[in-house]
Amino acid sequence: MRIPFVDLKAQYFTIKKHIDEAISKVIIDTAFIKGKYVNDFETKFAEIYGVKNCISVANGTDAIYITLKMLEIGPGDEVITTAHSWISTSEAISQTGAKPVFIDIDNYFTIDSDLIENKITEKTKAIIPVHLYGQPADIEKINNIANRYNLFLIEDCAQAHFAKFKGKNVGTFGVASTFSFYPGKNLGAYGDAGCILTNDELLAEKFFMYANHGAIMKHNHIIEGINSRMDGIQAAILITKLFYINEWNNRRYEIASLYSKLLRDVKEINIPSIRIDSNHVFHVYCIKAERRDDLKKFLLLNHIETQIHYPVMLPFMPAYSYLMHNENDFPVAAKVQKSIISLPMFPELSDDQVYYVSEKIKEFYTL
Ligand SMILES: *Cc1c(COP(=O)(O)O)cnc(C)c1O
Residue 117 has pLDDT above 90, yes or no: yes
Report the separation in Å between the CA atom of 314 and the middle of ligand 1, taken as the mean of its atom positions: 14
CA gap 232, 219 in Å, rounded? 21
Report the separation in Å between the CA atom of 150 and the middle of ligand 1, taken as the mean of its atom positions: 26
Q: What is residue 1's predicted lDDT score, i.e. its pLDDT?
A: 85
- Sorted by sequence, the CB contacts under 8 Å of residue 227 that are 6+ apart come out as 58, 211, 212, 213
Rg (alpha carbons) of the chain, rounded to whole number? 21
Q: Give the mutation target among 6, 56, 59, 61 for probing the ligand 1 site: most ligand atoms within 8 A of CB.
A: 61
What is the arithmetic mean of pLDDT over 56-71? Answer: 98
| Atom number, ligand 1, closest to the C-alpha of residue 132 | 13
**194 and 59 in contact (C-beta within 8 Å)?**
yes
Question: pLDDT tens digits, residue range 125-177?
Answer: 999 999 999 999 999 999 999 999 999 999 999 999 999 999 999 999 999 99
Residue 367 has pLDDT above 90, yes or no: no
Classify residue 7 as left (phi > 0), alpha (psi -120 to 50) or beta: beta
Question: pLDDT tens digits, residue range 295-350?
Answer: 999 999 999 999 999 999 999 999 999 999 999 999 999 999 999 999 999 999 99
Report the separation in Å between the CA atom of 156 and the middle of ligand 1, taken as the mean of its atom positions: 8
Report the separation in Å between the CA atom of 152 and the middle of ligand 1, taken as the mean of its atom positions: 20
Q: Percent of the chain, pLDDT > 90?
A: 99
Report the separation in Å between the CA atom of 158 and the middle of ligand 1, taken as the mean of its atom positions: 5
Q: What is residue 253's predicted lDDT score, i.e. its pLDDT?
A: 98
Question: pLDDT tens digits, residue range 200-249?
Answer: 999 999 999 999 999 999 999 999 999 999 999 999 999 999 999 999 99
| Atom number, ligand 1, closest to the C-alpha of residue 180 | 7
Nearest to 164 by CA among 47, 42, 281, 282: 281
Atom 6, ligand 1: which residue's CA is nearest? 60
Going through 78-175 in order, the beta strands assigned E by DSSP cover 78-82, 99-103, 124-128, 152-156, 164-165, 168-169
| Atom number, ligand 1, closest to the C-alpha of residue 63 | 9
- Sorted by sequence, the CB contacts under 8 Å of residue 124 that are 6+ apart come out as 77, 78, 79, 80, 101, 149, 151
The DSSP letter of residue 119 is G
Question: pLDDT tens digits, residue range 256-272?
Answer: 999 999 999 999 999 99
- Sorted by sequence, the CB contacts under 8 Å of residue 240 that are 6+ apart come out as 15, 18, 19, 22
Residue 352 has pLDDT above 90, yes or no: yes
- Sorted by sequence, the CB contacts under 8 Å of residue 212 that are 6+ apart come out as 225, 227, 228, 229
Annotate 303-348 with DSSP letters as a single string: TB--B-S-SS-GGGSGGGGGG---GGGSHHHHHHTTTEEEEP--TT
Instruction: Judge if the beta carbon of residue 180 lies within 6 A of ligand 1.
Output: yes
**197 and 179 in contact (C-beta within 8 Å)?**
yes
Confidence of residue 35 (pLDDT cuts 50, 70, 90): very high
Atom 2, ligand 1: which residue's CA is nearest? 158
Nearest to 283 by CA among 159, 107, 188, 137: 159
Report the separation in Å between the CA atom of 180 and the middle of ligand 1, taken as the mean of its atom positions: 5
Q: What is residue 325's predicted lDDT score, i.e. its pLDDT?
A: 97
Q: What is residue 26's predicted lDDT score, i.e. its pLDDT?
A: 98
**194 and 180 in contact (C-beta within 8 Å)?**
yes
C-beta neighbour count of 4 within 10 angstroms: 15
Instruction: Judge if the beta carbon of residue 60 lies within 6 A of ligand 1.
Output: yes
Instruction: Judge if the beta carbon of residue 186 lies within 6 A of ligand 1.
Output: no
Instruction: Judge if the beta carbon of residue 85 lies within 6 A of ligand 1.
Output: yes
Instruction: Judge if the beta carbon of residue 59 lies within 6 A of ligand 1.
Output: yes
Report the separation in Å between the CA atom of 264 and the middle of ligand 1, taken as the mean of its atom positions: 30
Q: What is residue 206's predicted lDDT score, i.e. its pLDDT?
A: 98
First-to-final CA distance of the chain:
20
CA gap 46, 51 in Å, rounded? 5
Report the separation in Å between the CA atom of 61 and the middle of ligand 1, taken as the mean of its atom positions: 6
Report the separation in Å between the CA atom of 86 and the middle of ligand 1, taken as the mean of its atom positions: 6
